[in-house]
A and B are shown apart, each in its own frame.
Chain A
C-alpha cells in the first residue's frame, strides 16, 4: 500500500478483481468532456463513447496508485451500445495479465462498463510501472 492507502498497480497479482464501481455521467460531465477534447460531433443525449472508458479509468485511479514512471502504453476498446446521459452504469475490472520485463511490471487491466444489465463497452488498458515500486 502507498501512503495514500492505494495499492501500487505493480503489486497487484494477475486475477485481482477491483470492487464494482457504480457511476453515472451527467449532461454537464459529458459537455465538459466534449469541451475539453474539442470534439465537434453532436452527441445529443448520448455520451461520447470513449468518455465512459476515460471516466472509468480515472475512477480506477482511486483504487490503485500509479508510481512515478508509470506509462499507459496500450488501449483496446470495444463499443457495444451507446450510453445516454444519467444512465446508471457499473464498471467491473480485473488484472487480466501481469508480466515483468526490463525492470517494469506490465499489467493489463480488463474492464467492462454495463448499464441496465447490458454491456456497453469492454476495454483493456496496458500499464507499465517500475518494478521497484512493487
Chain B
C-alpha cells in the first residue's frame, strides 16, 4: 500500500467558488453574493467547506487510487473559513500503517499557516474488508 501522499495546493478564487456553487448546486449566498456576505460576521464571501475538503479527497485518491474510492474514510473539522484568494495546501502525515489499514493526520492550511481543516483519513486494505 502506497504511503507517498503528495501535497495539493490550490488558490480558491471567487471564480472557482462560483464554479463550485454551480457544479455542486450549493448556491448559499454566503459563498457567492459579496453584498450579502459583507453584512455577515465573515465580512465577505467564503469558500464552501466541501470545496476545500475536495483537496484532501484529490490528494488521497492520487496516492491510493481505487482503494480510496472503495475503502477510504475521512473525518474532519472545519476550523476556519477560507476566503477568495487564499492559497490552500492539503497535506497528510502518516500516523500508522499495518497489514489492515494506513492512517494519516490530514489538514488544509492557508499560505499564512492558518489551519482551516483538520482531521484523520484512513484507507483499509482489501483484506481487511
Are the C-beta atoms of B77 and A79 separated by less than 8 Å?
no
B-facing residues in A29-85 (Cβ within 8 Å): 29, 32-33, 35-41, 46, 48-51, 53-55, 57-59, 61, 66, 68-69, 71-83
Chain B residue numbers with a CB within 8 Å of A41 are 58, 61-62
- In the complex, the answer to whether A75 meets B78 with C-beta atoms within 8 Å is yes
B76 neighbours in A (Cβ, 8 Å): 74-76
In the bound complex, residues from chain A placing their C-beta under 8 Å from that of B16 are: 36-38
Nearest CB to that of A66 among chain B residues? B28
Q: Which residues of A contact B22 (CB under 8 A)?
A: 32, 36
- Please measure, in the bound complex, the distance between the C-alpha atom of A57 and the C-alpha atom of B25, giving whole angstroms: 9
CB contact under 8 A between A79 and B71, given known A68-B40, A74-B76: yes
| Interface residues in chain A, defined as those with a beta carbon under 8 Å from any beta carbon in chain B | 29, 32-33, 35-41, 46, 48-51, 53-55, 57-59, 61, 66, 68-69, 71-83
Contact, CB under 8 Å: A38 / B57: no
Q: How far is the CB of A27 from chain B (nearest CB, A)?
A: 13
Which chain A residues lie closer than 8 Å to B72 at the CB level? 49, 77-79
Other than the given A37-B10, A80-B70, 8 more pairs (CB < 8 A) read: A36-B51, A39-B58, A49-B69, A50-B57, A54-B48, A71-B78, A81-B69, A81-B70
* Contact call B70/A36, Cβ cutoff below 8 A: no
Q: Are B49 and A72 within 8 A (Cβ)? A: yes
A46 to B61, CA, bound (A): 12
> A61 to nearest B CB, angstroms?
6
Q: State how many angstroms separate the Cβ of A48 from the closest Cβ of chain B.
A: 7
By beta carbon, the residue of chain A nearest B40 is A68
Minimal beta-carbon separation of A78 from chain B (angstroms):
5
B93 to chain A, nearest CB (A): 19
Cα distance, A32 to B51, chains bound together (Å): 13
